[in-house]
Structure 1
């Protein structure tokens, strides 16, 4: 049955959304966007003071919590502090270490996979399972185009493997919880203008040249797709990984 007003399907009023890595960059922009759509926002980040300041900039009722997504107990503590299970979970927390395999230290490998992959698992195990038990919920994971291709000219085995894992976890959870009323999707961004991509050592001109649209993406262009996936407008989508990469993976 069609909704009488299609725009109402984008309305998130009455829903609570938690965003990990919400203190800056893409995560913070997702918080702003979902807040404008009517959701009550919870920002979680490793740095409590930074995320508290970020929350004030999003809105007066936005809540901020400290959470280390690599630590399952920290995620469980976050759930206990929040109380009611959120309606929307956005697994955005992520880190990058770019180096050839020979220069990738054991610590770098474990750090990147712990945040990017294990963090998604821990948060989904805590919040996704609770959503499934309740019978409703929506999870959006932030993957990467590096989860399906190897970009040039840099190499990042840990990052690539972790994001490929995020894509597969997305499909796994989607199948597991589909009949429980929980949807799980992912976004695979390309190069987005954030603090993470402003490192002067990066080959920015090459990245732009390799992107068909000829520019970096904006954080709001990622956040708007998160909004779509978190809303009823995408109600028949689960297990999808949507590219938001300016056409990079089309070559």
Structure 2
């Protein structure tokens, strides 16, 4: 690839000596060389969409919000357990939307909302606040979730109940309220975030309730997809593999052997970066996937195929 890039650079320089060619040491792919603005299939645009994302103040949920903003979304509800963190994330995303664009902060409407997704009433209040602010919701991502590692015999019941209340019941409440508001407006897209753990058994860490909760989310999406298909409300699943979130990096920094194990079990030989999910989440939330429902996209570096 380097040889091809060098030849291309030479040709550019011969035809126009004023062309500045980027240093190849900083280029990952040929598409990284700046040329004209990239053309994208219009259906992938999130411009004009009103989005709501739970668990969005940090981690993967926040990465999904960044992907929507970078795809043109300027109207979004950041939903998380702590209001202060949700509002701070909304502020940061508003600033991001204005970078390298003609937008000003007053052109961007991103709000932070406090919500405990394990409470149906709290979820209903979050949607009510979103509808009051924006009048509609087009794309919803149920990203709020927790994971814990206990051996089955040692897992405290109160922790199991809390995990299911957030991962399973929270996803259901989020999806149900989304559909209640989407059906009268003519449809919308709901993405439930599961995990590759819905399909395989993770090793070496024990996490039976988590795995079962994500399998429930995956099948929940399929069931809801059938129930709401004729109402034009699509329900799909995004299942990440091991992703290098801030929390995961902290864990692996203290346990390098676990990192080696995870990498060795992943055919691509690495842990995923959070932005490796950006294309998939935009696809599922946008009109690009308009004839897709009840499906799962696994972004796991090939982990589940062996």
TM-score, normalising length: structure 1 = 0.94
Alpha-carbon distance in 2 for matches of 1:162, 1:111: 11
In the other structure, the counterpart of 2:17 is none
Alpha-carbon distance in 1 for matches of 2:185, 2:255: 47
Max radius of gyration: which structure? 2
Alpha-carbon distance in 2 for matches of 1:85, 1:168: 27
In the other structure, the counterpart of 2:218 is 167
* Aligned-residue offset at 1:201: 5.1
* Aligned-residue offset at 1:175: 0.4
Equivalent residues in 2 for 1:80-119, closer than 5 Å:
80-83=128-131, 84-119=135-170
Alpha-carbon distance in 2 for matches of 1:85, 1:44: 16
Q: Alignment RMSD, CA only?
A: 1.4
The count of aligned residue pairs is 247
Gaps of 5+ in 1: none
In the other structure, the counterpart of 1:15 is 49
Does the aligned pair in 2 maintain the 1:26–1:223 contact within 8 Å?
Answer: no
Corresponding residue to 2:234 among 167, 175, 183? 183
In the other structure, the counterpart of 1:58 is 93
Corresponding residue to 1:223 among 241, 257, 278? 278
Gaps of 5+ in 2: 1-38, 95-104
1:152 and 2:186 matched: no
1:232 and 2:268 matched: no
Q: Which runs of 4+ in 1 moved over 3 A?
A: none
Q: Secondary structure at the match of 2:293?
A: coil
State the Cα deviation string for residues 63-94 of structure 1 (Å, max 9, x = none).
11001000000011111111233100000001
Q: Secondary structure at the match of 1:161?
A: helix
Does the aligned pair in 1 maintain the 2:54–2:80 contact within 8 Å?
Answer: yes
Alpha-carbon distance in 2 for matches of 1:101, 1:196: 23
1:210 and 2:265 matched: yes
Corresponding residue to 2:119 among 71, 94, 113? 71
1:48 and 2:99 matched: no
In the other structure, the counterpart of 1:34 is 68
* Aligned-residue offset at 1:196: 3.2
Higher relative contact order (CA 8 A, sep 6+): 1
Q: Secondary structure at the match of 1:155?
A: coil
* Aligned-residue offset at 1:220: 1.0
Corresponding residue to 2:59 among 25, 30, 35? 25
Does the aligned pair in 2 maintain the 1:79–1:85 contact within 8 Å?
Answer: no
